[in-house]
Structure 1
Amino acid sequence: MTMLSLTTGFLLWMCCAIHKASAGAACEDPPLVEFGKIVSGVKSGYEENDRVQYTCNPGYALSGSEWVTCHGKVWMPGPPQCLEIPCGRIPAVANAVFEGRNKEKYEAGETIRYQCHEGFQVTGPPEIFCRRGNWSTPPFCEDVTCEPPPEIAGGKVQGIKKPRYLPGETAHYQCWQDFQMTGASTVTCQNGTWTELPQCKVNVLPGEGGKCGPPPDIENGDILSFPLPEYDQGQSVKYKCASFYILEGPEQITCTDGQWTNPPICLAACTASEEDMDRNNIELRWRGERKLYSTSGDFIEFDCKVGYVQDPASSPFRVQCMDGTLEYPRCKRGRNCILSEAEMKRNNIKLRWSRKRSNTYRSKETILFTCLFSYQEVSNPDDFEAQCKDGVINYPRCEWYFG
């Protein structure tokens, strides 16, 4: 037999072996899945009944079976899909409302647009979007209103001052008699601050250098002494605010080079209106507290009324009084709870007192439980005073013991 014949025979045998080996592979490689990968069962060739396992990338959820099996040269039941995880409730932004309907779940790609309240300016993109189960960073609403325009030495603000001024609003100054104004008499609120204030300088006559006229008036306050027509260099007066007002700034001002140093202002108190609280379905957090008046700077804590839960778009429930202004939080109607006899039996508990006419409890209502006879508490004692929370009751648990 020649060398050529041997070589030809070997090549034919190799071709047949390769053909048989390829014919023995029952399935082709399992298909790839977008946003996912195979984590188990990977081989160079797949035979009948071989299995592979899929998993999804973070932020994606598996739709379909995670395992597929080689059966009759086909992967059964077919590869799964990796779908983006939806997002939950939208994040609350203080001093803002959002456009659109409030939902429990938002699909991937959905967007929400915020709008700041009047007097607040948005910082950051006003829209957020849902991606892989998470919301993008929400914006911040910056307070760009102005506090009442400050008093100036030798003059005053015309008219009655408001607690807050919106951007673009103006205030007008006038000087006392025998004082002359330097600078513009009108100031404007811009980005939370006032434009440059004017000055009122006394018209000094020969031999009268350094004297001041009457001290400036302040709203909701007065000086503690009888005002004089003029004051010498270095003389001082003290101020006091009316009841429920807080003095901010120096209590005492001094006549210096013919002008008074800057006087203080009196910040207004806040009144927690029953009508406003009812409108927002809230009440004072501490039941025994009947303090409806709070001085500027104090904090007031609110809570939802029985039957209501916190609105996701609400402002914080701990509110600071700011010169007579309160920003009330808001609650929406909550879901009722239905008492489950099966859950009570499973946890070996019963109602502490005689049963109500109905097994329905409103959100925030308290349900008092106790153990069945021959059972003892396993849960924390506080858990036996359960509260209906927007349709959910966390039942305490008891276990049997040898009595």
Structure 2
Amino acid sequence: MAPNLQHVFPAVHLFGVLVLLLCPSCMCDCGIFPSIAHGSYEDVSSFLSFTTVVQYKCDDGYALVGEEKITCRSSRWSSPAPQCQALCLKPEIEDGTVSVDKDQYVDSENVTVQCDPGYSVVGSPNIICSENGTWYPDVPKCEWEIHTDCEQVLEGRKLMQCLPSPEDVKMALEVYKLSLEIERLELDLKLSTS
């Protein structure tokens, strides 16, 4: 044996013994890295490590559900690969709220739309975040309920939406009140002269 090889051989022999001790099955590798839809992975294992570490990340518009990093030890992954689920933005509901208040929701998550008092849901109150990042069915609306015996309240509400300041609203209501009194006086006058 050449003199240089005599020095290298013990080091190679020692490395082989370490591999057998740390990985008795001689299968330190888990083989193929688990891939994920709508995302990617990277081998982030440290040099001279006897474990394989894979780190996952999702494409824009998707959220990682599960472990960000998984490790291969003794030919087994520490956990299943994560999933990348589509994200839906919080539905905009004027005059209403949603049952679960968050900025973003993941695929298959559902919420219920609840309208403020005096408003009713137009459309389906239960909506689900779909895998393309939209709500299904469409986000409903909350519309003002019109009751036949509440026409004056509705008129007052419209008046308040049209006028720019509380002082203008107060003055308009006084004028409206005065017009109702005049109508009543005219009706009393007609009844008394009949």
User: Shared fold by TM > 0.5?
Assistant: no
Rg comparison, structure with higher value:
1
Q: Which has the higher helix share?
A: 2
- Scaled by the length of structure 1, the TM-score of the pair is 0.23
Question: TM-score, normalized by length of structure 2?
Answer: 0.39
Q: Which has the bigger relative contact order, CA under 8 A and spacing at least 6?
A: 2
